[in-house]
Amino acid sequence: MGFADQRFNVNLSILFTELPLLERPAAAAAAGFTAVELWWPWIDSPTPEQSELDALKKAIEDAGVQLTGLNFYAGQLPGPDRGALSVPGEESDRFRANIDVAADFAKSLGCTALNALYGNRVEGVDPAEQDELALENLVLAARAADRIGAILLIEALNKPESPLYPLVSAPAAIAVVDKVNEATGLGNAKFLMDLYHLSMNGEDLPQVIDAHAAKTGHVQIADNPGRGAPGTGSLPLGDLLDRLKKAGYDGWVGLEYKPGDDPSAESFSWLPAETRAAR
């Protein structure tokens, strides 16, 4: 099967960034895709003006693509910041202010997956205090996701690129998933399995898939080294996606890779045009 039997979406926060935000959904559609995902697009504002939300909603609808995943506010992405929900003070407050805004925007477009990045460790703050705050905020986020019929995603990043981020292994992220589900009783917290990040951490990817596919709510891919398109590195991504299918995962696979120096539309040669539209 490889890439031929997957449901791919395009992350518009890392691909098509050579275009203004409102032009990216149409560009993804022109490249043959029918689904997209986004990091929170307003990095300086957890609560943008309604006119900005409406403009992005219209751009997605006019392009005829489905929004399948959205990040809660997470600070500067890409950049040194990774998440806000476990950072005491202003950043945590900004995350909380964003929860219902993001959930309502997702609901308006039928999006059923919301990703909450955990947040960097902060110098001078007890990690236990951050973890307690994180759980409080993740419980709020899980309840908001449940309100709109969505799942809450918890993601592991990689230590070389995010050295202050505490969830840098699949087991670490799964442990948080379990804590959130135990606290809420909702069961809607799931693991976001990013194969690039996990490979950067040196994890055994087949073992991760076999152990955690049942708790996985979303998958993202990029090749390694380089975080480029499949085929630019050495990860056997087709085989890994096959293994995920056999393990029971039938959800979306997000394309979260860097297109390189060429326009994003030229970075999809590895995926035949007839397999890009979700079936």
The catalytic residue among 37, 91, 155, 203 is 155
99's tokens: 């929860």
Q: Are 67 and 37 in contact (CB under 8 A)?
A: yes
18 belongs to the catalytic site: no
256 belongs to the catalytic site: yes
Closest CA to 76 of 38, 42, 125, 118: 42
The catalytic residue among 37, 91, 203, 256 is 256
Phi/psi for 256 (5° steps) reads: -120, 60
Please give the Cα distance from 233 to 264 (Å, whole number).
17
Please give the Cα distance from 88 to 258 (Å, whole number).
32
Would you call the peptide bond into 166 cis, given omega within 30 degrees of 0 as the criterion? no
| Alpha-carbon torsion (66, 74, 27, 276), positive or negative | negative
Active site residues: 155, 256
